[in-house]
Amino acid sequence: MSATAARSPAATEVDEWLERFGEALEKDDAGGAAELFAPESYWHDLVAFTWNIRTVEGRDGIKDMLEHTLAHVKPRDWRATEEPEVADGVTSAWIAFETETGRGSGHLRLIDGQAWTLLTTLDELKGHEQGLGPRRPKGVVHGANPERLTWLEDRQREAEELGHTVQPYVVIVGGGQGGIALGARLRQLRVPTIIVERNPRPGDSWRNRYKSLCLHDPVWYDHLPYVKFPPNWPVFSPKDKIADWLEMYARVMELNYWGSTIAKRARYDADAGEWILVVERDGWELTLRPKQLVMATGMSGRPHTPQFPGMERFNGDQHHSSEHPGPGAYRGKRAVVIGSNNSAHDICAALWDHGADVTMVQRSSTHVVRSDTLMEIALGALYSEEAVAAGMTTEKADLTFASLPYRILAGLQVPVYEQIRERDADFYARLEAAGFQHDWGEDGSGLFMKYLRRASGYYIDVGASELVASGKIKLQPGQVDHLTEDAVVMADGTELPADLVVYATGYDSMNGFVADLISQEVADKVGKVWGLGSDTTKDPGPWEGEQRNMWKPTQQEALWFHGGNLHQSRHYSLYLALQLKARAEGIDTPVYGLQEVHHTR
Least distance from ligand FAD to the Cβ atom of residue 295, Å: 8
Rank residues 198 and 571 by Cβ distance to ligand FAD and give the closer one: 198
* Contact code string over 298-337 relative to ligand FAD, x by CB under 6 A: x-xx------------------------------------
Tally of CB atoms within 10 A around 134: 6
Q: Which of 48, 125, 213, 337 binds ligand FAD (CB under 6 A)?
A: 213
d(CA 298, CA 455): 12
Q: Which of 199, 260, 519, 555 binds ligand FAD (CB under 6 A)?
A: 199
Burial pattern 22-46, b for ≥16 Cβ within 10 A else e, equals bebbeeeebebbbebbbeebbbbbb
Rank residues 300 and 476 by Cβ distance to ligand FAD and give the closer one: 300
d(CA 298, CA 153): 34
Tally of CB atoms within 10 A around 164: 10
Range 227-246, binding ligand FAD (CB under 6 A): none
Q: Which of 50, 105, 297, 340 binds ligand FAD (CB under 6 A)?
A: 297
Range 561-600, binding ligand FAD (CB under 6 A): 563, 565-566
CA distances 413 to 327, 401, 417, 418, 444, Å, are 36, 12, 7, 9, 8
Q: Count residues contacting ligand FAD (CB under 6 A)? A: 31
Q: Which of 33, 196, 351, 399 binds ligand FAD (CB under 6 A)?
A: 196
Least distance from ligand FAD to the Cβ atom of residue 323, Å: 11
Tally of CB atoms within 10 A around 272: 10
Q: Looking at residue 455, what DSSP letter applies? A: S
Rank residues 84 and 202 by Cβ distance to ligand FAD and give the closer one: 202
Q: What is the dihedral of CA 528, 532, 534, 535, to 10 degrees?
A: 0
Q: Mutual orientation of helices 394-402 and 566-584 as an angle, nearest 10°? A: 80
Selection from 150, 149, 206, 182 nearest residue 256 by Cα: 182
Least distance from ligand FAD to the Cβ atom of residue 168, Å: 15
351 binds ligand FAD, rule: CB under 6 A: no
172 binds ligand FAD, rule: CB under 6 A: no
Q: Of the ranges 67-75, 198-206, 488-496, 586-594, which one interacts with ligand FAD (CB under 6 A)?
A: 198-206
Least distance from ligand FAD to the Cβ atom of residue 173, Å: 5
d(CA 196, CA 279): 8
CB 277 within 8 A of CB 268: no
Selection from 404, 379, 405 nearest residue 392 by Cα: 379
Least distance from ligand FAD to the Cβ atom of residue 192, Å: 19
d(CA 584, CA 154): 22
* Contact code string over 469-508 relative to ligand FAD, x by CB under 6 A: ----------------------------------------
216 binds ligand FAD, rule: CB under 6 A: yes
Beta strand extents in 303-440 (DSSP E only): 317-320, 334-338, 357-362, 367-370
Q: Which of 45, 57, 123, 217 binds ligand FAD (CB under 6 A)?
A: 217
38 binds ligand FAD, rule: CB under 6 A: no
CB 331 within 8 A of CB 354: yes
Using DSSP's 3-state secondary structure scheme, residue 497 falls into strand
Least distance from ligand FAD to the Cβ atom of residue 378, Å: 14
178 binds ligand FAD, rule: CB under 6 A: yes
Specify which residues 488 forms β-bridges with.
Answer: 483, 496
Least distance from ligand FAD to the Cβ atom of residue 283, Å: 14
Q: Of the ranges 29-37, 137-145, 195-203, 431-439, which one interacts with ligand FAD (CB under 6 A)?
A: 195-203
Range 503-522, binding ligand FAD (CB under 6 A): 513, 517
Rank residues 30 and 196 by Cβ distance to ligand FAD and give the closer one: 196
Tally of CB atoms within 10 A around 156: 12
Q: Which residues bind ligand FAD (CB under 6 A)?
A: 173-179, 196-199, 205, 209, 213, 215-217, 262-263, 296-298, 300-301, 342-343, 513, 517, 563, 565-566
